[in-house]
Amino acid sequence: MEPGNTPLVEMPGLAPAGTRLFAKLEWYNPTGSIKDRAAWFMFQDAKKRGLLPDGKPLIEATSGNTGIGLARLATVNNHPISICLPNTATPERKQILRAYGAELIEVEGGPNGAIAHANELVEAGHGHTVYQYGNPANPAAHEFGTAPEIARDWPLPEPPDHLVCAYGTGGTITGNSRGMRRAYPTINVHSVEPFVADPIGGMRSQDDPFQPPVADLSLVTHRWEIETQLATTMVQTTMDAEGHFVGTSSGAVLHAAQLLLEKHGGTAVAILPDAGWKYLSGAPWAG
């Protein structure tokens, strides 16, 4: 099953007065996140280019969702897969990865530690990595997939004023910026980020020492740094107002969307990476 064609819905319960907020619900992808798109594009690209012959092991560094998407593809195509992920990843993501048959290598040092360890394994000849942080197929998944879907489904006669994306690998914000600007040249692009000292799973700050090569931050017109507590609070607010159980990164995106609409007005599209089911063991849900 190919990812894509996820719903674009309006969220009037979250939009400040006089504005309109729409959200792209990416948990409707096969394994429940936007990373299914990048995983599909990168996997198919590697197969077409002969970089991943039948049976060759895959190795990937991930905070969870890209690894889950790749593990699904590896399993059905008979590739062993090893996932290097931070030891802080939620138990739910680890359980899903194991269910798909992935070998888990838990690493200290957060996402950057996972990247370093995966690179060591690849250099030692243990398998192929699609390296989501530097693979052009990652943003291509959004430039030629997600963004055209938004443009196709946009319900208003006037173009959207704002695009709001979480910054992680850089693939989502780079690819969607390119695709949306092709359709709507005047759109403002908003990067949503955590503070370095207050991380949110799957997201990255522009202040982090490592910046993914795939990211083109020259496309960003506004940057919003969101505290973890505010992102978590927005998860509950979204459930109460709209009935959608979003993940923490989606909560951060929606909080930033509210702030920018209060400040700038107009219409916004918020891309929501995943739902909250993979985070139930964390605050505030753990009892």
| Tens digits of residue pLDDT in 37-62 | 999 999 999 999 999 999 999 999 99
The CATH class for the domain spanning 8-30+137-279 reads alpha beta
* DSSP calls for 180-246: HHHH-TT-EEEEEE-BTTB--TT---TTSS---TT--GGG-SEEEE--HHHHHHHHHHHHHHH---B
pLDDT at 204 > cutoff 80:
yes
Give how far Cα 261 sits from Cα of 189, 232, 258, Å.
13, 20, 5
**Of 24, 33, 35, 63, which is the active-site residue?**
35
pLDDT at 1 > cutoff 90:
no
What SS3 state is found at 47?
helix
pLDDT at 198 > cutoff 80:
yes
Q: What is the band of 110 on the pLDDT scale with cuts at 50, 70, 90?
A: confident
In this prediction, residues 5-30 reach a mean pLDDT of 98
94 is catalytic: no
**In angstroms, how far is CA 279 from the centroid of its own chain?**
15
Output the pTM of the full model: 0.96
278 is catalytic: no
**Of 205, 249, 250, 278, which is the active-site residue?**
249
Residue spans in the chain of domains classed CATH 3.40.50.1100: 8-30+137-279, 35-123
pLDDT at 285 > cutoff 80:
no
In tens, the pLDDT along 232-264 reads 999 999 999 999 999 999 999 999 999 999 999
pLDDT at 228 > cutoff 70:
yes
Q: Thinking of the domain 35-123, which architecture would CATH place it in?
A: 3-Layer(aba) Sandwich (3.40)
| The predicted structure's pLDDT at residue 53 | 95
